[in-house]
Amino acid sequence: MATVTYDHASRIYPGTERPAVDALNLEVEDGEFLVLVGPSGCGKSTSLRMLAGLEDVNSGRILIGDRDVTDVQPKDRDIAMVFQNYALYPHMSVADNMGFALKIAGKPKAEIRQRVEEAAKILDLSEYLDRKPKALSGGQRQRVAMGRAIVRQPQVFLMDEPLSNLDAKLRVQTRTQIASLQRRLGVTTVYVTHDQTEALTMGDRICVLKDGVLQQVGTPRDMYDTPQNVFVAGFIGSPAMNLGSFKVADGKANLGGAHIPLTRTTLDAITEEDKGEITLGFRPEATHLVSEGTEASFGIKVNLVEELGSDAFVYGEMLDKEASEHISSGAGDAQVIVRVEPRNPPMKGDTVYIKIEDGQKHLFSSATGQRLPE
């Protein structure tokens, strides 16, 4: 087991000017489960492949433990990778697939069998060792791919969206197994996903990337409670945070009928570049329904009610048409998402009034998108 360090590591593909990964600085602790997350094209898989040795590092360096592996061949890096598409040999049995890397390395047959059986027991695959991959379900194939990595006993596990080919129910089940398995083995793991729900539920820490640039790294709670910029705020959380551009006047953020008081600390942090505006965010669960005319409240016309049993979400647009043009959410522009009492939700076409709960708003510079102090 070992730490992993990205030291100003960059990757620029031939024929492009903008780096796919731009001077990434990141430290992964020994035994940590770190999740790289971001939208398609953000550089997360490229970062993983740089660590694996499958992509060149154009500048900077990568270390595993105290060893600089920037120019080391993939086979000599003491890492094991789990791919999205399983990459199993169809003509080999499960046992032969899991032990193939050890066979190539010249390990004794008895040792290979022992390691394969131990991994199969951990992964609940013991009864499938003589089967071929075609006789397995998607979830079982993914566990075989995991087993192939485990028997290697590497210093670092690398996982590139290993659950994306599974159905929704199996994905939830398997991500729980992977997270608990990693904690049991204690092997440093770097895991790539585009699914922020996976990131929040699995990782010890999350690293959010956008356009090859590190946006924020921290615990799932850090990401949720204190996103450092507008991008992270809108990306982390399901449903996504509501974000609006509010005018600042008389010590308040004003949008439509809403007049939300700001602290002196926040007002002092607003600069000339912000041009008298502030970006204010609030999560769907950070509001409650109030009566019309309540101070700092605003009205929403209900377009859709999504009932999930334990939760209900209202999708709607602000009553003030001009205000609608300055607010967005996970449902799109001019839309607001609000969580309501599931036992008695409003109906489509109703008008409701909401108020952001005290201490639950997120404030960002309209010019830079960076978080402002409260």
| For the chain, domain boundaries | 4-233, 240-365
In the chain, the N- to C-terminal Cα span, in Å, equals 41
Could you give the CA distance from residue 192 to residue 36 in angstroms, rounded to a whole number? Answer: 5
Phi then psi for residue 346, to 5 deg, are -70, 170
Residue 150 backbone dihedrals phi, psi, to 5 degrees: -65, -40
Q: What is the pLDDT of residue 296?
A: 84
Helix 168-185 / helix 138-151 crossing angle, nearest 10 deg: 20
186 contacts: CB under 8 Å, gap ≥ 6: 1, 31
Pair 230, 369: CB distance under 8 Å: yes
One-letter amino acid identity for 215? Answer: Q
Task: Report how far residue 2's alpha carbon sits from residue 336's, in angstroms, rounded to the nearest whole number.
Answer: 45
Nearest to 37 by CA among 240, 236, 174, 238: 236
Is the previous residue joined to 239 through a cis bond, with omega within 30 degrees of 0? Answer: yes
Rounded Cα–Cα distance for residues 80 and 95 (Å)? 17
**pLDDT 10s per residue in the chain (374 long)?**
699 999 999 999 999 989 999 999 999 999 999 999 999 999 999 999 999 999 999 999 999 999 999 999 999 999 999 988 888 999 999 999 999 999 998 999 999 999 999 999 988 899 999 999 999 988 899 899 999 999 998 999 999 999 888 888 888 888 888 898 899 899 999 999 998 889 999 999 999 999 999 999 999 999 999 999 999 999 998 888 999 999 999 999 988 778 888 999 999 999 999 999 999 999 999 999 999 888 888 889 999 999 988 899 999 998 877 777 888 887 788 889 999 998 889 999 999 999 999 889 999 999 999 999 98
Per-residue tokens: 293: 């005319």
- Residue-wise DSSP of 231-270: HHHHHSSSSPPEEEEEEEETTEEEETTEEEE--HHHHHH-
- The pLDDT score that the predictor gives to residue 331 is 76
Report the alpha-carbon angle 153-158-161, nearest 5.
135
Q: Which of 286, 306, 294, 297 is nearest to 358 (CA)?
A: 286
Q: What is the pTM of this model?
A: 0.90
Domain 240-365 has CATH 1.10.287.180: no
Which residue intervals of 167-229 are DSSP H helices? 168-185, 196-202, 220-225
**CATH (residue range 4-233):** 3.40.50.300
CB 188 within 8 A of CB 30: yes
- Residue 156 pLDDT: 96
